[in-house]
Amino acid sequence: MKNICLLNGSPKGKNGVSLHFLEKLNQSIDSKKYTTTFINAKGSRLEADFKIIENADVLVISFPLYIYCLPGMLMRYLEDYSQYVNSKEKSEKTTEVYAIVNCGFPNPEICNNALRVIKNFCQRTNLHWRFGIAVGMGGILAAGKNSFLINKLSSTVYRSIGKIKKDIEKPDEGRKEDYYVSPHISKGLVRFLINKSWSSKAKENGLTRKDLHGKPYYNYTCYNKLQQISKFHDALLTDYKKVG
């Protein structure tokens, strides 16, 4: 029986859509043929978890895009694992690696650099990179993961995740290309859902929708600009008097 390690690299832990993708994948895996283990990178650098990853036949890393790359927490986790595995004798075991990265942008190609980081990590730790799935509009999927409509519009995303399951069962010896997918959601619906999400967050924190458009630093910035202009004017005036 093969061992599959599902690594959740989201700083939100159990509340993120990254775990949702891993759970979807896990539901499709035959438990009679594979043993799956979930690991949450948040707050965990236990050697026991590193041993699970080291002994896994398959590693699937799911995480959100943070500032066009991996979350700092996950970067540190993978760096610690790299030091752990490279401090030991080189293993002959082959671990297949897949990645699922989601971003809030409609265009999933923006996740490309994050996938390159995972590929580099695999090279450094003697892991076998298979392919990655970049998902656009991850925030929409997170907000609507219990919505029938959103799940229906996101069928392309879930079919792409299913390709990981198929490749685990029947790996293709050739090089696999990464997949870039987004839900089939109109811009109008995206705008509506995002505004609804922001309004809900504002209400939770005792704010109104009007407060979301506030500019608390605007007046302070203008004041600083006026001060700079005033000083510049005074300096010019002083120089003019000296010349006169």
Q: Domain-by-domain residue ranges, the chain?
A: 2-182, 214-243
At residue 76, the pLDDT reads 92
Checking phi first, is residue 72 left (phi over 0); if not, alpha (psi -120 to 50) or beta? alpha
Domain at 2-182: CATH code: 3.40.50.360
Question: pLDDT tens digits, residue range 98-110?
Answer: 999 999 888 899 9
In this prediction, residue 215 carries a pLDDT of 66
Largest CA distance in the chain: 94
Tell me the C-alpha to C-alpha distance, in Å, between residue 130 and each of 67, 82, 200, 237.
24, 18, 39, 68
- Report residue 172's pLDDT band, with 50, 70 and 90 as the boundaries: confident
Question: What pLDDT, on the 0 to 100 scale, is given for residue 211?
Answer: 76
pLDDT of residue 150: 74
pLDDT 10s digits, 3-27: 999 999 999 988 888 999 999 999 9
Question: Which tops the pLDDT comparison, 90 or 39?
Answer: 39
pLDDT exceeds cutoff 50 at 69:
yes
Q: Look at the block and give the residue holding tokens 């109104």.
A: 208
Q: Is the pLDDT of residue 33 over 80?
A: yes
Q: The pTM is what?
A: 0.79
Number of Cβ within a 10 Å radius of residue 56: 24
What integer pLDDT is reported at residue 189 of this predicted model? 75
Instruction: Give the model's pLDDT for residue 64.
Output: 96
Amino acid type, 29: I
Residue 94, φ and ψ in degrees, nearest 5:
-105, 120
